[in-house]
Every structure is written in structure tokens, then in C-alpha cells.
Amino acid sequence: MLLYLMRHGIAIDREDPECPADAERYLTKKGMEKTREVALGLRALGINPEAMLTSPFVRAVQTAEITAAAFGFSRDKIRQTESLIFGHKPAELLRELAKLRAKEVMCFGHAPHLDEVIALVLGCRGTVTSLKKAGVACLELKAMAPPQGSLLWLCTPRTLRALGE
């Protein structure tokens, strides 16, 4: 399975007096624009996710919906899962992915959780990546239990935006 892990785009700052509760934090206008540009870069790479899973937090859902639109992927097919919320064990996500039987899956979530998923798949004791907002990593999963795979690439939002131009 090819697994694409995308961190949510730029969201309202926690220090902003208008900031809602964490689960309700939303993408800023700039965050939406940059996420859309990143999604176009992903499309230019020719990836073809058969499934999309997202954290139920607003900023991740918005990121998933923007990306789905760029791919012509139906918003109704995006599945929300708590296994993509920070604080959950990365193995929970892998168990859920094993049930999908898809060749390409895209997941939308948060730091440091996505970096922990990467570390688990690579067999590392600690995190080895630090995804930027709207950054994406591509993993090739060879086995789910025990987790085994390789990091094929990791792209910054700037690189993906450039690919989409």
C-alpha cells in the first residue's frame, strides 16, 4: 500500500482571541489557498488515492476536502477517524488501514502524530521527520503487523506548490 500522510494546512493561531476550542480550529484564508496549491502539486505527481481518511478536527477535515476537490474525489467518501487524532497510538491507524485493502490511501492529520506513524512504519524508536503544515510524506507499507515499510518521499508545502504551477 502507498500511504500519503498530509498534515493539515495553516489554521487560526491558538493565541488569537477569536480562536475556538482545539477541535474546532479552522484553516485561515491563507491556509486554504496554500492547501489548494499543495493539492494541485499532489495531483501533478499523478497519485491516485482510492481512500481518504481524516481526523475529525475541523482543520484536518477542511484540508481533506480541499485535497479531495483537487483530485475529483467525492467529499462524501472521505472517512473521519479518531485514529488520526494526536494522542492515539499510531498502531490504531495501521489496524484501520489494514481493513481497507486499497493500493493508495491518503490520510490527513496532525503533528506530531503523523510523524509518530512514520517512525513506527520505519521501525525507529523516535520521530525522524517533522511534517510542516500541508506537508506530505509517502510511505510504502509492506506489512501492517508488525509494521514494516519505507519512506519513499517527503515534500514540503513549498515544493508541492511549485509542482502545481
Model pLDDT, residue 101 = 85
Q: Within 13 Å, how many C-alpha atoms sit on residue 1's CB side? A: 24
CATH number at residue 63: 3.40.50.1240
C-alpha cell recorded at residue 97: 488501514
Q: How many domains does the chain have?
A: 1
Per-residue pLDDT of the chain (165 residues; tens, 9 = 90+): 999 999 999 999 999 999 999 999 999 999 999 999 999 999 999 999 999 999 999 999 999 999 999 999 999 999 999 999 999 999 999 999 999 989 999 999 999 999 999 999 999 989 999 999 999 999 999 998 889 999 999 999 999 999 988
The domain in which residue 19 lies consists of 2-164
- Euclidean distance between CA atoms 17 and 116, whole angstroms: 31
Is-cis flag, bond preceding 112, omega within 30? yes
Written as one string, the DSSP assignment of 101-112 is --SEEEEEE-TT
* Block residue for cell numbers 523516535: 126
Model pLDDT, residue 150 = 97
Model pLDDT, residue 131 = 97
Burial class, 17, CB count within 10 angstroms (exposed 0-12 / middle 13-18 / buried 19+) = exposed
C-alpha cell recorded at residue 83: 485514529
